[in-house]
Amino acid sequence: MRNQPNPTCRPPLQHPTSALVRVGSRLSSCRGWLATATAALLVVGTWALTLPLAVRAETAPARPSRAEPLTYERHIRPLLKTHCFHCHGEGGELGGGLDLRLRRLITAGGESGAAVVPGDGSASLLLERMAAGEMPPEDVEIRPTAADIELVRDWIAAGAAGRTEPDDLDPANYITEEERGYWAFQAVQRPPLPTVTETVRARTPIDHFLLARLSRESLTFGPDADPIRLLRRVSIDLTGLPPTVAEIEAFVADQAPGAYERLVDRLLNSPRYGERWGRHWLDVAGYADSEGYVDADPVRPYAYQYRDYVIAAFNQGKPFDQFITEQLAGDELVGQPFSNLSPEDAEKLIATGFLRMCPDGTAAGDVDQGVARNAVVSKTIEIVSTSLLGLTVGCAECHNHRYDPISQSDYYAWRAIFEPALDWKNWQVPTKRRVSLYTDADRAAAAQIEAEAKAILAERTAKQEQLIQETFARQLNKLAEELREPVREAYQTPAKQRTAEQQKLLKQHPSVNVTASSLYLYDKKAAAELKALADKANALRQTKPEERFVRALWEPAAKTPPKTFLFIRGDHEQPGEELAPNGLPILATADQAPLPVNDGDLPSSGRRLAYARQLTSPSHPLVARVIANRIWLHHFGKGLVETPGDFGQLGVPPTHPGLLDWLAAELQAGWDVKHLQRLIVTSTAYRQASRNRDRALQVDAQNQLYWRMPIRRLEAEVLRDSLLAVCGRLDLEMGGPAVPVMADRAGRFVIGKENLNAGRPGAVIDMHGAQFRRSVFIQVRRSRPLGVMDPFDLPIPSPNCTQRASSTVAPQSLMLMNSDFVTEVARRFADRIQSEAGKEMTEQIRLAWLAAFARQPTARELADATKYVAEQQEVFAASPPAKTAKQTSAGSRHEALSSLCHALLSSNEFLYVD
């Protein structure tokens, strides 16, 4: 519904998505820890934020302790910033003339006098109004707790102490030492490895950090996982596919030392690796093959090149700093104009597709252009902040951030980095933001063909005119003779010059109104003739060299960059002060040069390029931490910081800050992602078994300390790809235009080329096996999530997804039980087993187990499965299919085997990795 003005950020618009599911109607936009944590707990799986305090993070989180002397900066300012600054300091006009941003301003007070009288709570208006619930005003939803008010009371009683405030201290740009001291804003420093007693289990430096922490709780890692379990785990983690039977056999056969390490290298070098890990990055980049924003959700035909770029970058092991720089400023690395581009330069332009991923409705006719354009700017930079900075910078779009030291001016200065390319006053719609890959020679050839096509079309137009006249003459002849002449005259008179009489005459004889658009209704043959000519012209046009485009972001060459203004309350129609480009001050380091306003050495402003250099400098406090945390997240199901898109005050502090920094430092050392992953997957932490242990459960039920490997459900793409792989149908062709998604006759979104006829799906167009390609190559149309993946928490980018959910709901079960897709996969799986395992039932079952679960069945499982197949065979044989049902012609034995395969593929052992 339309909401009351809300003093807090409106989460759907301003805050990044998280995996949490909102529960209950009483919980609205902002609420206490309790509600959020409850929501977290209600989410199935491993996402809960909670753990007993005993095993909370290694270092103290930012929350202040009451044990130390109360000070303004440490205890009081954060809560006033959250609840009061908006009206009392930051909002322009001061409420009641009172500014609460500095201690001296508080004691000076406002129109009603001093807000605080040190040592005297009863004389302190601040406390009085807060305690009475009058402040913040009643309609403000988010409220200080009773504990907050107690804190204010105690602080005043103890003398309202705080830091000395120099007279020239500007409250508007004041960042306290406490704020600066927040862990995530400190430069990354590689910590020494903690010493551990269990040296045998410390395979990698990672294990040192984890073991040291575990031992403090008298815990340790679980035993190493069974090698075959580990094979399945690491194969799915690194390539998104279960190991094939041949791979299992090869791994089992390799008894030489280092077999596991060789396996890891093989997986990291597999092209499947880039498809899997590229997909993770595409989530945070908000990759989509459609523009979104409006209902029509137009397709982006060339976005796929960015997807292929990302996959290739992971496969090639492109250094991540270079990967970031190309995505933020690839255009500034290429000389303008962008003509006759080399493949290397084209690649750099394609990389800027990162900044062209968010929904863009600016080409639609019926949108408010000001709103739509600014949405593109703010959503694009939201993607930058949540993917690279791990901060909810967007909160500062309308007002100063309530928790993190990011002011509204900081936000717009940061936005100014991107505005020369995303200039909302001189906007380019999506079709203008693409660069042709045509060479001059291509262009000349195309022009020649176009001239020939135009000649054919001119012929068609002449023919059409002739046919209209002939048709008219025929229609005229159907009229009574005396009418013909007046009707002809009326028809031939231009519409505006017709007399009333003539108009009436034509109205009485509507069938003589032959026009170009109605000609087909009279004369099908004539229409066909015209169509043949049009087709001929079109066919000729098809012979032009194919023109591919790059969806890119760049700045107009040699142009003065636009001015960037702060938008008062985030409203683009209310510009405030002008701001020069700047990274966020809280993240600035001493050695950092200011960003150029307009770099004279480049055709562009140079702002993004310089900013990319800042981000990838070793002194940047966040980028390496954020990326290292993401890599960890995708191996362990949760990050060391459990809020991968928010490292700020509202995020969850790291469970292992030392390890996070060590990983970040290791990443910065060469920006080698594969290297970091090799360290992770060869660690004991990663190689341990997933089983629960009672004592460990009692101490740390949420496994925050990594005393076991968590069990994780397959993501939507991995599930689909694994099903196709196991049944032997997966098509491994890489790259190229997205495989399209359409609505079928029942309204399900399926893979297929849309072929509408009066709005309904017409004849099905053969996809020639493209329907079996890996999910990363299937079109991401925001309005058409693929039916078989949608129930499994497939994200719909709006603008991006910083962390996926893992839900457990009935539609998933129904899909696995009954869908055409899964039952078809089960039949094909049975085909494969029958053809590969021979006629012996036992061998067939063994192969099924190996392919689906990467292990041999136990004797009992084998016996049960044999019995199941025999019983199902009886059931199917008792009701033979009707003769017309061709799919079941393979006989009851095949049907029974398919049913077994179906059960394996819908079982938890298949759906989860442990």
Partner 1 sequence: MTPFDRLQSNRRHFLATHAFGICSTALAWLLQQDAASAAPPKPNLAPEHFDLKPKPPQHRPAAQAMISLWMQGGPSHIDLFDPKPELTKRDGQPFPGDIKYDNAAQASATMLGSPWKFQQHGECGTELSELLPHLAEIVDDICLIRSTRTGVNNHGQSIRALNTGQIVGGQPGLGSWLTYGLGSESQDLPAYLALTDPGQLPVLGVENWNNGYLPSVYQGTVIRPQEPRILNLTPPARLAGTAQQRYLGYLENLNRRHLAQRPGEHDLEARIASYELAARMQTAAKEALDLSQESAATQRMYGMEDKATRDYGSRCLIARRLVERGVRFVQVFTENQRWDHHNSIRSGLPSACKKVDQPSAALVKDLKQRGLLDSTLVHWGGEMGRLPVIQNDAGPKKVGRDHNTYGFSMWLAGGGVRGGMTFGSTDEFGHQAVENVVHHYDYHATLLHLFGLDPELLNYEQNNRVRTLLEGRGRVVKEILA
Subset of residues 870 to 899 that bind partner 1, contact rule: CB under 8 A? 871-872, 875-876, 881, 885, 887-888, 895, 899
Q: Which residues contact 496 (CB under 8 A, 6 or more apart)?
A: none
Label residues 29-49 b or e (16+ Cβ within 10 Å = b).
bbbeeebbebbbeebebbbbb
294 is an interface residue for partner 1 by CB under 8 A: yes
Stretch that binds partner 1, among 214-222, 450-458, 574-582, 901-909 (CB under 8 A): 901-909
The string of DSSP codes covering 860-878 is HHHHHHHHHHHHHHHHHHH
Label residues 517-539 b or e (16+ Cβ within 10 Å = b).
eebeebbeebeeebeebeeebee
Measured from the CB atom, the residue of 326 and 404 that comes closer to partner 1 is 404
Stretch that binds partner 1, among 102-110, 246-254, 457-465, 811-819 (CB under 8 A): 811-819
Subset of residues 518 to 577 that bind partner 1, contact rule: CB under 8 A? 518, 521-522
Shortest Cβ 427–partner 1 spacing (Å): 17
**CA–CA separation, 118 and 475 (whole Å):** 100
The DSSP 8-state label assigned to residue 268 in this structure reads H
Q: Which of 174, 341, 203 is nearest to 685 (CA)?
A: 203
Q: With beta carbons less than 8 A apart as the criterion, state whether 350 and 552 touch.
A: yes
Q: Is 879 exposed, middle or buried (0-12, 13-18, 19+ CB in 10 A)?
A: exposed
Among 810, 840, 859, 886, binds partner 1 (CB under 8 A): 810
Measured from the CB atom, the residue of 493 and 783 that comes closer to partner 1 is 783
914 is an interface residue for partner 1 by CB under 8 A: yes
Subset of residues 812 to 851 that bind partner 1, contact rule: CB under 8 A? 812-815, 817-820, 823
Among 190, 262, 498, 748, binds partner 1 (CB under 8 A): 748
Subset of residues 586 to 645 that bind partner 1, contact rule: CB under 8 A? 643
Shortest Cβ 439–partner 1 spacing (Å): 39
Q: With beta carbons less than 8 A apart as the criterion, state whether 624 and 668 touch.
A: yes
Q: Which two tokens stand for residue 232?
A: 């399945």
Subset of residues 475 to 514 that bind partner 1, contact rule: CB under 8 A? 507-511, 513-514
Subset of residues 694 to 723 that bind partner 1, contact rule: CB under 8 A? 697, 701, 711, 713
446 is an interface residue for partner 1 by CB under 8 A: no
Stretch that binds partner 1, among 323-331, 423-431, 728-736, 752-760 (CB under 8 A): 752-760
Q: With beta carbons less than 8 A apart as the criterion, state whether 591 and 619 touch.
A: yes
**CA–CA separation, 368 and 573 (whole Å):** 12
Q: Which residues contact 221 (CB under 8 A, 6 or more apart)?
A: 201, 207, 210, 211, 214, 684, 685, 688, 706, 707, 708
Measured from the CB atom, the residue of 495 and 732 that comes closer to partner 1 is 495
Q: Is 393 exposed, middle or buried (0-12, 13-18, 19+ CB in 10 A)?
A: buried
Among 447, 462, 732, 809, binds partner 1 (CB under 8 A): 809
Shortest Cβ 64–partner 1 spacing (Å): 6
**Binding flags for partner 1, 297-326, as an x/- string (CB under 8 A):** x-----------------------------
**Binding flags for partner 1, 338-367, as an x/- string (CB under 8 A):** ---------------------x-x-----x
Stretch that binds partner 1, among 18-26, 281-289, 459-467, 572-580 (CB under 8 A): 18-26
Shortest Cβ 46–partner 1 spacing (Å): 8
Shortest Cβ 641–partner 1 spacing (Å): 14
Shortest Cβ 522–partner 1 spacing (Å): 5
Among 204, 290, 649, 668, binds partner 1 (CB under 8 A): 649
**CA–CA separation, 245 and 264 (whole Å):** 17
Shortest Cβ 448–partner 1 spacing (Å): 40
Q: Which two tokens stand for residue 785?
A: 């999530």
Among 57, 357, 640, 650, binds partner 1 (CB under 8 A): 650
**CA–CA separation, 837 and 833 (whole Å):** 5
Angle at 560 between CA 555 and CA 562, to 5 degrees: 75
Subset of residues 403 to 442 that bind partner 1, contact rule: CB under 8 A? 403
**CA–CA separation, 756 and 776 (whole Å):** 25
Shortest Cβ 885–partner 1 spacing (Å): 7
Subset of residues 48 to 77 that bind partner 1, contact rule: CB under 8 A? 48, 50-53, 63-64, 66, 75
908 is an interface residue for partner 1 by CB under 8 A: yes
Q: Which amino acid is at 874?
A: E
Nearest 10 degrees: Cα torsion 277, 279, 283, 288: 150
Residues in contact with partner 1, counted by CB under 8 A, come to a total of 150
Subset of residues 149 to 168 that bind partner 1, contact rule: CB under 8 A? 150-151
Measured from the CB atom, the residue of 48 and 615 that comes closer to partner 1 is 48
Q: With beta carbons less than 8 A apart as the criterion, state whether 538 and 530 touch.
A: no
Shortest Cβ 789–partner 1 spacing (Å): 13
Dihedral over Cα of 888, 889, 890, 892: its sign: positive
Shortest Cβ 866–partner 1 spacing (Å): 12
Shortest Cβ 81–partner 1 spacing (Å): 9
**Binding flags for partner 1, 80-119, as an x/- string (CB under 8 A):** --x-------------------------------------
169 is an interface residue for partner 1 by CB under 8 A: no
**CA–CA separation, 181 and 243 (whole Å):** 47
856 is an interface residue for partner 1 by CB under 8 A: no
Measured from the CB atom, the residue of 589 and 858 that comes closer to partner 1 is 858
38 is an interface residue for partner 1 by CB under 8 A: yes
Measured from the CB atom, the residue of 656 and 902 that comes closer to partner 1 is 902
Q: With beta carbons less than 8 A apart as the criterion, state whether 890 and 897 touch.
A: no
Angle at 857 between CA 851 and CA 860, to 5 degrees: 150
Measured from the CB atom, the residue of 142 and 312 that comes closer to partner 1 is 142
Q: With beta carbons less than 8 A apart as the criterion, state whether 711 and 690 touch.
A: yes
Q: With beta carbons less than 8 A apart as the criterion, state whether 623 and 615 touch.
A: yes
**How many C-beta atoms lie closer than 10 Å to residue 842's C-beta?**
14
